[in-house]
């Protein structure tokens, strides 16, 4: 098994996610004011329509590729063969999908043709994107570096060149082009991982890829279709603008919630392949606990200060976001848990059909509720439908695990009590504190900083062992390493073995 450090990969990925978190935090207030809610909504609608073609071009190859490379990451020939087979398949599907997208653009999107054509760069991105390979190799530092540099080039370009609503094509070009640039730069690192191979067959495991494609399609129903339906049922694109900006900021925060999970996918895949199911359970329990620790305070934070956050952050014209943000904040827990269930467990252990079932159940709920709620409640109805759909996905996953007794669910929930207490105390304090201050930028900064301090002080008071363990491991990385003795040191077992869900409580096993 690979000796790459989980905690180093986690830190690389966490820093990457934080930097990605900072970038929209910086640029969104500017874009909201410069473009206006209607233009932002138009961008959201056009992007949602392009997303259907992008997901078709990618099939299920991103998840499949990360898992496949994780299985053979120590075998240079096998991973080279897997890379070229997956890359070639993505190239062929993107070529066919590009032709279909051009037909859509010139027939159905003439009123917004320029922006629609610029979004075709997302199909180019499917071809050049090899992040799945680097993640499968557990090289998160490289993906973090390339993506972050490209993102900040994009931010600089937006501030320099996007000045009003007429600059929407430029904004679209910078947003899509930066992603392509970041993925292209990853190719500079690729040669050292690959060797020449013969007999490449991009369709040899096509059935499995299609199985993984089904949940990708289903997930689009409640991540993209709601934006499309808002455009279809609403007069103009203002509702899309409210929805886009509210969902975006919560989804950005979600990156911090799923930061550990992204790192764990290839490690769980290789551990399961090695037959060590006990270690797989340890990894999973730690991932669930991390989701609780991160999602709960962010959720209560949005609920408590949305009325201050909205006017300060978005500016005039976005008042409805104060209603949408608390609703969307519930996604943090739902998606965080379903991310562990699906991408960290079902996929690595080969239960893709279960992942498909859970996501399809959410898609049905979302589509049905969208039809009922959007005509009457517009963006609020779409937000409620999204939350209930994600809850359905999470619940279905847990019900399957409980029925099949894959591992015990009790430790997942019993370990969360400290986070709930700390989150409720923090939320209550912020809710009261906001009425003592004016609606201003400095007030928002004080509220956010106070929330962070109160939450982590509460965890220290409650003596949360998981937090102490993370701090201990973080401090250990700052210490200079001693020269190895006569025999080389073994890989750190402490970083491989996740702590049990409760201090002193053994993990329940079936």
pLDDT digits (tens, 9 = 90+) for 192-211: 999 999 888 888 888 888 87
C-alpha distance from residue 83 to each of 47, 65, 153, 189, 461 (Å): 28, 8, 29, 14, 49
Tell me, what's the pLDDT at 496? Answer: 40
Tell me, what's the pLDDT at 480? Answer: 61
What is the DSSP code (8-state) at residue 340? I
314-324 average pLDDT score: 93
3-state secondary structure of 200: coil
- State the burial class of residue 277 (Cβ atoms within 10 Å of its Cβ: 0-12, 13-18, 19+): middle
Position 171 in a domain: yes
Tell me, what's the pLDDT at 489? Answer: 41
Q: How far apart are CA 414 and CA 420, in angstroms?
A: 11
Position 366 in a domain: yes
Backbone φ, ψ for residue 60 (5° rounding): -110, 25
Position 36 in a domain: yes
Position 388 in a domain: yes
Instruction: Strands of 348-387 (E only): list them.
Output: none
3-state secondary structure of 502: strand
Q: How far apart are CA 215 and CA 233, in angstroms?
A: 26
DSSP 213-262: HHHHHHHHHHHTHHHHHHHHHSSSSHHHHHHHHHHHHHHHHHHHHTHHHH
With a CB cutoff of 8 Å and minimum separation 6, the contacts of 484 are none
Ramachandran assignment for 196, one of left (phi > 0), alpha (psi -120 to 50 degrees), beta (any other):
beta
> Considering only 153-157, 242-246, 278-282, 498-502, which range has the smallest mean pLDDT?
498-502
* pLDDT of residue 499 exceeding 50: no
Q: How far apart are CA 165 and CA 39, in angstroms?
A: 6
Domain tally for the chain? 1
* pLDDT of residue 96 exceeding 70: yes
Task: Catalogue the long-range contacts made by 112-120 (C-beta closer than 8 Å, 24 or more residues apart).
Answer: 112/42, 112/46, 114/169, 115/42, 115/43, 115/46, 115/168, 115/169, 115/172, 116/46, 116/49, 116/50, 118/169, 118/172, 118/173, 118/176, 119/46, 119/47, 119/50, 119/172, 119/176, 120/50
Residue in this structure with the two tokens 């898609």, named with its chain if needed = 363
> Considering only 14-23, 213-222, 341-350, 397-406, which range has the smallest mean pLDDT?
14-23
Q: How far apart are CA 141 and CA 151, in angstroms?
A: 15
Q: What is the pLDDT of residues 367-406, one digit of tens each?
A: 999 999 999 999 999 999 999 999 999 999 999 999 887 7
Position 169 in a domain: yes
Tokens found for residue 465: 């062992």
Do residues 245 and 314 make contact, with C-beta atoms less than 8 angstroms apart? yes
Residue predicted with more confidence, 222 or 433: 433
44-48 average pLDDT score: 92
CA dihedral 291, 296, 301, 304 (to 10 degrees): 150
Give the confidence band of 22 by pLDDT, cuts at 50, 70, 90.
low
Percentage of residues in the chain having pLDDT higher than 70: 86
- β-sheet bridge partners, residue 235: none
Give the confidence band of 15 by pLDDT, cuts at 50, 70, 90.
low
* pLDDT of residue 50 exceeding 60: yes
Position 128 in a domain: yes
Do residues 354 and 346 make contact, with C-beta atoms less than 8 angstroms apart? yes
- β-sheet bridge partners, residue 502: 505
Give the confidence band of 345 by pLDDT, cuts at 50, 70, 90.
confident
Do residues 153 and 165 make contact, with C-beta atoms less than 8 angstroms apart? no
Q: How far apart are CA 220 and CA 216, in angstroms?
A: 6
141-165 average pLDDT score: 88
Tokens found for residue 271: 């551990």
Position 501 in a domain: no
Give the confidence band of 214 by pLDDT, cuts at 50, 70, 90.
confident
Do residues 146 and 109 make contact, with C-beta atoms less than 8 angstroms apart? no
Tell me, what's the pLDDT at 181? Answer: 93
Tell me, what's the pLDDT at 162? Answer: 95
3-state secondary structure of 481: coil
C-alpha distance from residue 483 to each of 14, 128, 178, 478, 496 (Å): 28, 41, 42, 15, 22
- Structural domain span for residue 80: 6-194+204-415
Backbone φ, ψ for residue 505 (5° rounding): -100, 120
Q: What is the pLDDT of residues 109-119, one digit of tens each?
A: 988 999 999 99
Backbone φ, ψ for residue 240 (5° rounding): -65, -40
* pLDDT of residue 453 exceeding 80: yes
Position 444 in a domain: no
Q: How far apart are CA 227 and CA 395, in angstroms?
A: 24
Tell me, what's the pLDDT at 17? Answer: 61
Do residues 123 and 54 make contact, with C-beta atoms less than 8 angstroms apart? yes
């Amino acid at each position: 098994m690979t000796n790459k450090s989980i905690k180093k990969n986690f830190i690389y990925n966490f820093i990457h996610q934080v930097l990605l978190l900072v970038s929209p935090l910086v640029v969104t207030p500017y874009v909201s004011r410069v473009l206006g809610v209607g233009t932002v909504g138009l961008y959201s609608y056009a992007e949602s329509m392009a997303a259907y073609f992008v997901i078709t071009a990618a099939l299920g190859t991103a998840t499949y590729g990360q898992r496949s490379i994780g299985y053979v990451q120590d075998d240079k020939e096998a991973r080279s063969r897997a890379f070229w087979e997956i890359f070639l398949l993505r190239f062929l599907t993107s070529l066919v999908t590009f032709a279909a997208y051009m037909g859509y653009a010139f027939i159905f999107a003439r009123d917004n043709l320029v922006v629609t054509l610029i979004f075709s760069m997302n199909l180019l991105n499917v071809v050049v994107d090899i992040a799945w390979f680097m993640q499968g190799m557990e090289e998160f530092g490289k993906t973090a570096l390339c993506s972050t540099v490209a993102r900040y080039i994009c931010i600089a370009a937006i501030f320099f060149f996007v000045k009003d609503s007429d600059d929407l094509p430029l904004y679209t070009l910078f947003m899509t082009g930066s992603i392509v640039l970041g993925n292209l730069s990853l190719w500079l690192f690729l040669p050292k991982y690959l060797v020449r191979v013969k007999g490449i067959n991009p369709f040899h495991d096509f059935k499995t890829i299609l199985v993984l494609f089904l949940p990708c399609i289903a997930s689009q129903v409640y991540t993209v279709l709601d934006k499309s339906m808002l455009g279809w049922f609403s007069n103009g694109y203002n509702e899309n603008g409210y929805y886009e900006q509210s969902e975006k900021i919560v989804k950005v925060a979600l990156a911090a919630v799923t930061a550990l999970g992204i790192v764990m996918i290839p490690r769980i895949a290789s551990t399961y392949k090695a037959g060590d199911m006990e270690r797989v359970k340890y990894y999973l329990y730690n991932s669930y606990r991390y989701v609780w620790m991160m999602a709960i305070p962010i959720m209560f934070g949005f609920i408590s200060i949305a009325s201050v956050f909205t006017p300060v952050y978005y500016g005039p014209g976005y008042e409805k976001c104060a209603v949408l943000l608390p609703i969307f904040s519930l996604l943090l827990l739902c998606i965080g848990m379903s991310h562990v269930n699906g991408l960290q467990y079902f996929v690595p252990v080969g239960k893709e059909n279960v992942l498909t079932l859970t996501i399809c159940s959410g898609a049905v709920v979302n589509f049905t509720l969208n039809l009922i709620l959007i005509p009457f409640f517009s963006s609020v109805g779409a937000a409620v439908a999204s939350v209930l759909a994600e809850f359905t996905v999470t619940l279905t996953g847990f019900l399957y695990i409980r029925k099949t007794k894959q591992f015990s669910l009790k430790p997942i929930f019993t370990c969360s009590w400290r986070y709930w207490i700390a989150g409720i105390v923090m939320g209550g304090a912020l809710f009261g504190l906001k009425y003592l201050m004016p609606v201003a930028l400095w007030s928002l900064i004080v509220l956010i900083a106070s929330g962070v301090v109160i939450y982590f002080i509460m965890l220290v008071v409650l003596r949360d062992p998981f937090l102490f363990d993370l701090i201990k491991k973080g401090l250990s990385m700052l210490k200079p390493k001693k020269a190895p003795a006569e025999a080389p040191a073994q890989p750190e077992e402490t970083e491989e073995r996740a702590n049990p869900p409760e201090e002193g409580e053994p993990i329940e096993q079936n």
